[in-house]
Structure 1
């Protein structure tokens, strides 16, 4: 019995913290993450983006579970359930925040113009979402194996799998950042070809703040993921893993700020607005309408009606003066006119 207890205690000592987690710090993170959950639901329903809101809710719920696990570790330092909750919750939570960031990119590209992007839409969706899904699977499997293994070799294998899953998330974020930089350069250097239909959106201060906020949230998730890779690679008993200040600042705070940014600058609050009716100075001018002038024939040299040759007035022919000349066969000879003056008598 003693040997079995020593073996179990040796297994726990590799995974559990050598310090007592702070009750105040963990309680604050639990409360704040929990408060953000109903806020995410309200925003998702209001913007009619339940899929995006669900991803945020799942990420926040996992963070709450993770910090509840830390509280359990404070009450019971050898609680295997507490460690599993902590690792699984705080490791998987940021992946779902990243999904929301990935979902934001296509509509942002549409606002500026598809001709600025350096990737194909299908390639973007398949690759980044596949990397995120693989990261979640490897992180879950690696976290459970590293904490539930009875031997050091299995625990090390689990940590390596967990580190691989975190590295895949780093790769997905790096791809996103790289193409986002190329896209920003293209928009900056070729802004003359922007679609004027969305000028009211991409010229607004709120939309620009949304772009910078999401870029900042991406950097925060990147910093947190890099920190977790170092922690897992060094081992759970390393000085970095056993520093609660580093964990709360470089892990908990980074994820909390990123989740708050995603909700405050919820993308479809800015992207679902109908394009304003904007027009360029050239397009605002009323083009002269083409006037169709009916064709007319030139007057002949013979006696014909008189035509109005002024093209600005309607072509209405004047009433012609017709000289009536009846045939002689149909009428009697006209009587000779009587002269009022006798010319013969004058002479």
Structure 2
């Protein structure tokens, strides 16, 4: 372990790492996050989910920046610029991944029916996008203020701002999970009222697996955000903040697994084109087969311009057992059924 004794400032131990980050471990996370970026881009094009893919890719790119900083910190643990790259990238990156997940929930609601939701469509977008935006701004400002200078005043100001940003992100996830649970309860208790036009989607096994993966990814991001909130609240020099194993497991691994779940079970695969109206169009793409008319309901040809009486008379002599058509006989008098007319 390297020591921070070489740092001239008395506040250095509150900011920089007191150990050399593992080169192999951080390089692996860096490589995997970097590989996921073109994969997300390709899936977004294939399934026409450009907004979701762009938001998720922004979070992955920030994670790459963060782990570049950690790899560089391996040789220079006290370098301020490398620490800023690590802190800003790994703090803000998951916020964009959460924002990408917020984009998916309205599409899930559309599959089951808007009457099952516990929120108004108007405030859903404003609330979660506003919370995500405020969280990103506070995390960026707090991270810069707490690392850019050694002055105690800047550190004491930046840390609470960073804590507020992480707390807002955790609060947004809590609201998201709460309304998702209410929605699931409504669907479970009133499943008889589901719209049958989307039965092919919500009854499919792939959609159910997607919901399970989506829920697991949400819980992983909750664990990561709670851990990072505790780290900042305890201080950069605390034992929990200076433990690389805890960081790689509770931060890096949680974010990586959540990203992999979102890519393996890409929303566009079960929510075609990421648009409700497209889902309706694809489900009704194959028209219903028309009902064949009964043999005795043959259309009249007397009003057809190509009607030829002679051809009709001549065709009556062509007998085919597969095209047995008998003239409709009037029912016998007395209300009795003639047995010969049935055969």
Q: TM-score, normalised by structure 2?
A: 0.78
CA contact (8 A) 2:207 2:270 kept: yes
Following TM superposition, by how much is the alpha carbon of 1:57 offset from its aligned partner in structure 2, in angstroms?
1.1
Please list every run of 5 or more consecutive structure 1 residues that lacks an aligned counterpart in the other structure: 292-311, 315-347
CA contact (8 A) 1:220 1:255 kept: yes
Q: Secondary structure at the match of 2:74?
A: helix
The worse-fitting range, judged by mean Cα deviation, of 64-73 and 267-276 is 267-276
Compared CA separation, residues 267 and 135, structure 1 to 2 (3 A): same
CA contact (8 A) 1:37 1:57 kept: yes
* Alignment partners' CA distance in 2, 1:189 and 1:278: 32
Following TM superposition, by how much is the alpha carbon of 1:7 offset from its aligned partner in structure 2, in angstroms?
8.0
Alignment of 1:1-347 (within 5 A): 8-272=8-272, 273=279, 274-275=282-283
Compared CA separation, residues 285 and 234, structure 1 to 2 (3 A): farther
CA contact (8 A) 1:118 1:182 kept: yes
Following TM superposition, by how much is the alpha carbon of 1:12 offset from its aligned partner in structure 2, in angstroms?
2.8
CA contact (8 A) 2:12 2:150 kept: no
Q: Secondary structure at the match of 2:118?
A: coil
Following TM superposition, by how much is the alpha carbon of 1:8 offset from its aligned partner in structure 2, in angstroms?
4.3
C-alpha deviations, 1:209-265, integer Å up to 9, x for none? 011111110101111000000000000000000010000000000000111111111
CA contact (8 A) 2:13 2:236 kept: no
Partner of residue 335, structure 1: none
* Alignment partners' CA distance in 2, 1:48 and 1:10: 53
Following TM superposition, by how much is the alpha carbon of 1:202 offset from its aligned partner in structure 2, in angstroms?
0.1
Compared CA separation, residues 11 and 148, structure 1 to 2 (3 A): farther
Following TM superposition, by how much is the alpha carbon of 1:275 offset from its aligned partner in structure 2, in angstroms?
2.1
Partner of residue 275, structure 2: none
* Alignment partners' CA distance in 2, 1:128 and 1:285: 49
| Structure with max Cα Rg | 1
Following TM superposition, by how much is the alpha carbon of 1:153 offset from its aligned partner in structure 2, in angstroms?
2.7
CA contact (8 A) 1:66 1:86 kept: yes
* Alignment partners' CA distance in 2, 1:223 and 1:79: 29
Q: Secondary structure at the match of 2:177?
A: helix
CA contact (8 A) 2:80 2:147 kept: yes
CA contact (8 A) 1:199 1:278 kept: no
RMSD, matched Cα: 2.6
The worse-fitting range, judged by mean Cα deviation, of 10-19 and 44-53 is 10-19
C-alpha deviations, 1:150-196, integer Å up to 9, x for none? 32232021011001000000111111100000000000000000000
Q: Secondary structure at the match of 1:75?
A: coil
Aligned length: 285
Partner of residue 298, structure 1: none
